[in-house]
Structure 1
Amino acid sequence: MKNSVLILMAAAAFLTSCGPKSTAVTGPKYSSTEKIAEGKTIFENSCNRCHKLPDPAKHDDQGWIKTLSRMAPKAKLSDEQHQMVYDYLASANKK
């Protein structure tokens, strides 16, 4: 019994350590022109590899958070790149 508990604890620790390390984008972080421009470049180069680029006005800010949380791992974006792409899209969809 004691061995079973230890094995379960070790398995849980292993599975937790294998989980995603990214921090979720919850809103805008960068506002500098350079970071927004870099986000646009990442968006154009990374997203265009697999599909046609969506119009930034396609989603509101919350919609982009949801969409990018699915797509950023597929595009292998770092947390910072993910944030810059979000910030670009959020700035571009303002009317």
Structure 2
Amino acid sequence: MKKLIVSAIGCCALLVSCGPKSTAVTGPKYTSSEQLAQGKTIFENSCNKCHALPNPEKHDDEGWLKTLSRMAPKAKLNEEQHQMVYDYLISVNKK
């Protein structure tokens, strides 16, 4: 029984270590005006394809984290684009 438990734990550890590395947006990263301008452009061009652009003040920083985590894959944003859009939105929102 002890061997079975140790084997199960080992298999679980192996599966977790081989899985994709999550480097999701967790907070602001880019602050330069060029990067924020890129974030605005990506936001306007990518999000506007499927729906009207939301007001950046619609959500606070945490709300944008949740919303973009859900929407970035649908918009086919890579990690850097996702980060730039988030940083742009929180730079202009007043919450």
TM-score grouping bracket, smaller chain normalisation? 0.7 to 0.9
Percent identical across equivalent pairs?
73
Match of 2:35 in 1: 35
After TM superposition, the structure 1 = structure 2 runs for residues 1-95 of structure 1, keeping only pairs within 5 Å, are 13=15, 17=19, 22-94=22-94
- The code of the aligned residue for 2:32 comes to S
The RMSD of aligned alpha carbons is: 2.3
CA offset at residue 24 of structure 1? 1.2
2:82 and 2:63 map into 1 onto residues whose CA distance is 14
Match of 2:3 in 1: none
Report the secondary structure of 2:72's partner residue.
helix
Structure 1: gaps spanning 5 or more residues: none
Count of aligned residue pairs for this structure pair = 86
The TM-score normalised by the length of structure 2 is 0.78
Instruction: Pick closer, same or farther for the CA change 1:66–1:35 going to 2, 3 Å.
Output: same
Runs of 4+ in 1 over 6 A off after TM superposition: none
- The code of the aligned residue for 1:81 comes to Q
Structure 2: gaps spanning 5 or more residues: 1-6
